Chains A and B, each alone.
Chain A
Amino acid sequence: MDIATERRDGVLSVLVSGRIDGSNAAAFEEAAKAAMEDSDRAVVMDLEKLSYISSAGLRVLLMIAKSLSGRGAKLVLCSLSDQIREVVEISGFDKIIPVRASRADALASLDA
């Protein structure tokens, strides 16, 4: 698991690559939190290069969504593979976290 980040107009984009499983979900949480700043109005998690995620990783995404929502910011997910979209939908996360087809879509949805 690796992350690469980019910040523009108060929106942090996080490209996550590799896999997030029970053995590295804590490291993912730490890396994502370290990249986030209180002034970010939104975080876009770009999952295009993510090959695998289990409930341990989904749990971290929900925690991040909750903490952002708690201070009036939001999390957006984008570029999900069919398999990842399927588990996100079974979990019901697509009802509480916006899911966009591409990073460009995600960023456009956040334009004020």
Chain B
Amino acid sequence: MSAELSLRMKTTLDEIPRVYTALEEFARKENWSSRLEFQIKLVVEEVVMNVLNHGHEGNGEHDIGIELASDEKEIGIEIVDDGRPYDPLTQAPQPDTALSIEDRPVGGLGVYLVCALMDEASYRRDGGFNRLSLVKRRPA
């Protein structure tokens, strides 16, 4: 059995708690482990925060679409925005996790965490939209 969740949010910070609530409800219905729920919330937030911080010129409000599909094998996530073309998988800087506390720059961890926590990640630009697709396989 597969279940789907479709969310739409405005590009403002105060939308984030509502997205969490919807994800938490979906996680309960789909019997996700608390670890899986944590990881899915985190990757959705990281991608959404990137769009909020870097996606658009000026202060206008835009929409972000978040689609999830969950079955017993895997969770698929697609996040769609109409911001400037941006492939986080190749364009985001990679943090150097071996640096000392003095030399370690603050920030730049979001996409790194997304790639580390997900099993698959792909990006495409499609008719004025950024589409980031992620897959998390569930343990057998």
Contact = CB atoms under 8 A, between A and B. Distances in A.
Interface of A: 19, 21-23, 52, 54-56, 58-59, 62-63, 65-66, 69-70, 82-83, 86-87, 90-92, 95-97
Contacts, number: 77
Given A22-B45, A23-B17, A91-B113, 16 more contacts: A22-B16, A54-B110, A56-B49, A59-B106, A66-B102, A83-B34, A86-B35, A87-B113, A90-B112, A90-B113, A91-B95, A92-B98, A92-B104, A95-B97, A95-B98, A96-B100
Nearest to A58: B109
Contacts of A83: 34-35, 38-39
B20 interface: yes
A58 B105 CA distance: 12
A70 to B, nearest CB: 8
Chain B interface residue bracket vs A: 20 to 34
A111 to B, nearest CB: 22
B34 A59 contact: no
A90 B52 contact: no
Q: In this complex, which of B34, B109, B116 has the most chain A Cβ atoms within 10 angstroms of its Cβ?
A: B109
A44 to B, nearest CB: 17
